[in-house]
Structure 1
Amino acid sequence: MTRVRVRQHVNPLSDQYRNPVTPPDWSQIYSEITQPLHLDIGCARGKFLLKMATLYPDINFLGTEIREPLVTEANHHRDNLGLSNLHFIFCNINHSFEPILQSLPQGVLQWVTIQFPDPWFKQRHSKRRVVQCELVEAIARYLKNEGVVFLQSDVEFVQNEMVKHFQNNSHFTQEPLETNPFPVPTEREIATHNKKQPVYRTLFKKS
């Protein structure tokens, strides 16, 4: 399959991205639907999850992405690898988080990762950033007790803003963190390290 070229920025406030997604029949997606779930929000080309799903067959992985061609490409690679614990879905997560989680077995969500989200540098575009208080509240409702949220970015003010949203929610406690808790780095993480630039990371646990 030819690598798809797509726009780097997609405005999530556009009308075309406001409709909630219709979730698939998960029993046709995952071979073991009740396994713990790792949700990666803004998964881009999905390389992080493709590797994670290969390493951890006893965990289900779900990647959400607002750029549809990347989702099509990622699911194609998943099929080539024969992975039955991984799916990618095209959606605006701020409008589709609840429909997706309501359609899954209760209590399966155990990990959430939000890695290198689009920074939308201008302050007037702040509402376009993926982490909003409403999303944090929804994650708190569906994340399993002791479940984990991992945030990372190469843009310090974006990381600080995401962290503040989770700190302001009483369901989350910030945990000590020295390195990436996952064994697979994202493409952006690798590129940032190669440029010898900092990566900002924060871990929260639902208490």
Structure 2
Amino acid sequence: MGAVQLVGRANEWAERLGFKGKVVYVHANATVSLASMLATYPGPVQLVCVQFPDPHFKRKHWKRRMLQPEAVEDIVRLLPPGGKLFLQTDVEVVAVALRDVVEQHAFHAFTLAPQHTPSAVFMTEPRQPKREHMVTQRGLPVYRMLLVKR
């Protein structure tokens, strides 16, 4: 199944669960499209999640990583005070890179959420994203950070 079909399925699930108009899945390159996509969102954006982004290990491919400085700056502009940024990955070097880009370009804008503890899992239901389920079943760590805009 391709990305476009997955997005369609996710939007159907959101509608069936009563989240139509509150949750929207789109297929896009968020690195360059985030601000323009969310500029027409009908209401305040309360949460931005970056979950298990492609690690792009080779230095020459780092420019393809999802959370580039411009995207971080867009997130700062889009989130209202109290809005949240949730970062999650199973690759430690990616976790460090996510943390570093936020610290370098939005240190002033975010603080750790009060719920953020070393053992916290920020899920309200036992369902997990497929990647998270696979990683935790293997006993591997998942690195998470929940930030709140000041």
Aligned residue identity for 2:109: H
Q: Partner residue of 1:193? A: 136
Equivalent residues in 2 for 1:1-207 (5 A)? Answer: 4=1, 6=2, 67-78=3-14, 83-84=19-20, 85-105=22-42, 108-168=44-104, 169=106, 170-175=108-113, 176-177=116-117, 178-184=119-125, 185-207=128-150
Amino acid at match of 2:52: F
Q: Secondary structure at the match of 1:120?
A: coil
Residues 76 and 200 (structure 1 numbering): CA distance in 2 closer, same or farther, change over 3 Å? same
Q: Give the fraction of aligned pairs with identical amino acids, expressed as a percent.
A: 34
The whole-number CA distance in structure 2 between the counterparts of 1:150 and 1:81 is 22
For 1:194, give the aligned amino acid.
Q
Question: C-alpha offsets along residues 5-53 of structure 1, whole Å, 9 cap, x if unaligned?
Answer: x4xxxxxxxxxxxxxxxxxxxxxxxxxxxxxxxxxxxxxxxxxxxxxxx
Q: Post-superposition shift, 1:90?
A: 1.6
CA distance in 1 between partners of 2:109 and 2:14 (Å): 34
Query: For structure 1, which runs of at least 5 residues remain unmatched after alignment?
Result: 7-66
Shift of 1:77: 4.0
Report the structure, 1 or 2, having the larger strand content: 1
Shift of 1:79: 5.2
What is the alpha-carbon distance in structure 2 between the residues aligned to residue 193 and residue 199 of structure 1? 7
TM-score for both structures, normalised by structure 1: 0.62
- The one of the two structures with greater contact order (alpha-carbon pairs below 8 A, sep at least 6) is 2
TM-score normalised by structure 2 residue count: 0.83
More helix by share: 2
- TM-align CA RMSD: 2.0
Conservation of the 8 A alpha-carbon contact between 2:31 and 2:65: no
